Chains A and B, each alone.
Chain A
């Protein structure tokens, strides 16, 4: 009997897209919130942090309800849910990393004629990337594992036994551990520099 790897790949997709999506959205929001003063900044920050206030059970129920039927809870819906559920943590880490940089760097770059985008890519991102990527790596584990648990509990009894015997759980445990280790290493390297 050959192992069923489809659930593994689906989990990787959910975790990867969830982490990368949260990274892109979180970094963009963090840059806007830390570099600009605009009306409603507090509301935007609160809205982006809202998913962290929603209990996992409620979030899953809402996602299933939005999908209409458990069968419609595809990996794409899960990936989208993962982006928003991991956004608060990535946003918090990104803001902290950007605001920890001495503001003289960004000010000097602006005074040298650099646009906000150039300041971000050439000054802020190279100096602040480690804790931000560490937060995204940390987000990968929960995003992928949540999907594993969702399909595990939604599956019929026989299919659940098959999943238990398959590679899904050990591979995801190893992947989540590897992501946490990478995040830890990046955080330590960031703190050392």
Chain B
């Protein structure tokens, strides 16, 4: 069993307070800047001492504040790839690998280094210093070096992780991997579980698709970058049709049935900007609400439109081009895409 309960007071009033367990496979850790992701990894690796808590790695106690147990970082068997380059700059890639494979007989060490170079397609740059190789190769080398030390847990801090490399890690390493990433597509593609960290607390912990499609709390929705979070009053509930009517500040919309609530209750709801349907005023369905376009934020794959009432909608560039001269705008909230949120515990 691998589990951690970590509490640590940081600077400027920040505090990290998390509890989770890790299973073999890739667990993605997602959160905004300053959420405490790197601090959490450093506490697990032993570079930072938590104020309280307990860390168990495959049933071996690494840290227990109450029992005053704190294993040194080099005795934890926790591999770590930092958010910055950490290949030793005065050693070649091969020497970096040999450093990680120390403590083994010379022949075995050479064999393991050669295997790692081959496996991560680094043989051509084996004799190069890190400064002379490309960033993707540096990242592969850092991962391969971490794996050469045969860790029981692998911590991968935020880098430009590419799916093939993450898949390769999953295939090469049978233990738990905690991967910090800001790429939600990568979370869905490569991770079996997603932890969302916000202001030092875990606000969501489930399969990536579940977390993204059905954020449960306001904090999780905010951490996932969903801008459309509204407070509303329930004006009607119909469990038979699985629908509700929700009154927002300036308009009302149809929503899903919200179990555990009564008419008149106030709830928070969220809807992803790409799930809203944007119509020009002339061709809008009656269930849509009128909104005034405040500003346009062009993006590479999506154009984000900000409307009055704090409504954000994402459109593909070609759809925006077709609608951009609209005289008036109406927004449709598909009822099945509206999520009711609960406040965090």
Contact = CB atoms under 8 A, between A and B. Distances in A.
Interface of A: 37, 102, 104-105, 107-116, 118, 122-123, 126-127
15 contacts: A102-B86, A104-B82, A107-B80, A108-B82, A110-B47, A110-B73, A111-B78, A111-B80, A112-B74, A112-B79, A112-B148, A113-B75, A113-B77, A115-B74, A127-B89
Contacts of B80: 107-108, 111
Contacts of A102: 84-86
Q: Which of B47, B74, B77, B90 has the most CB of A within 10 A?
A: B74
Interface in B76-119: 76-80, 82, 84-90, 99-100, 102-103
B45 to A, nearest CB: 6
A111 B149 contact: yes
Interface in B56-79: 72-79
Nearest to A115: B74
B84 A112 contact: no
A14 to B, nearest CB: 34
B338 to A, nearest CB: 44
A109 B47 contact: no
Given A122-B99, A126-B90, A127-B89, A111 B84 contact: no
B149 A112 contact: yes
A105 B100 CA distance: 13
B86 A113 contact: no
Q: Which of A110, A113, A122 has the most CB of B within 10 A?
A: A113
A110 B99 CA distance: 11
A109 B146 CA distance: 10
Main secondary structure of the interface of B (DSSP, over half): loop
A99 B214 CA distance: 45
Q: Which of A104, A105, A127 has the most CB of B within 10 A?
A: A104
B84 A123 contact: no
Contacts of B79: 111-112
A37 B42 CA distance: 15
B47 A107 contact: yes
Given A104-B85, A104-B86, A108-B86, A114 B102 contact: yes
A190 to B, nearest CB: 13
A114 B99 CA distance: 9
Given A110-B74, A111-B80, 20 more contacts: A37-B49, A102-B84, A104-B85, A105-B89, A107-B45, A107-B73, A107-B82, A108-B87, A110-B73, A111-B74, A111-B151, A112-B99, A112-B100, A112-B102, A112-B149, A115-B74, A122-B99, A126-B90, A127-B89, A127-B90
Given A112-B99, A112-B145, A113-B149, A107 B74 contact: no
Chain B, interface residues (CB within 8 Å), range: 20 to 34
A123 B89 CA distance: 9
Contacts of A118: 102
A122 B87 CA distance: 13
Contact of B146 (A111, A116, A127): A111
Contacts of A116: 74
Contact of B88 (A110, A111, A115, A123): A123
Given A104-B82, A108-B80, A113 B88 contact: no
Nearest to B154: A111
A109 B99 contact: yes
A48 B141 CA distance: 41
A104 B88 CA distance: 9
A126 B91 CA distance: 10
A105 B47 contact: no
Contacts of B84: 102, 104
A112 to B, nearest CB: 5
Contacts of A123: 88
Contacts of A126: 90
A113 B74 contact: yes
Contact of A111 (B45, B90, B103): B45
A115 B72 CA distance: 9
Nearest to B78: A111
B88 to A, nearest CB: 6
A110 to B, nearest CB: 4
A114 B84 CA distance: 20
Contacts of B99: 109, 112, 114, 122
B89 A107 contact: no
A114 to B, nearest CB: 6
Nearest to A107: B47
A20 to B, nearest CB: 24
Contacts of A104: 82, 84-86
A123 B87 CA distance: 10
B50 to A, nearest CB: 13
A80 B312 CA distance: 73
Contacts of B75: 113
A118 to B, nearest CB: 8
Contacts of A114: 74, 99, 102
A130 B211 CA distance: 51
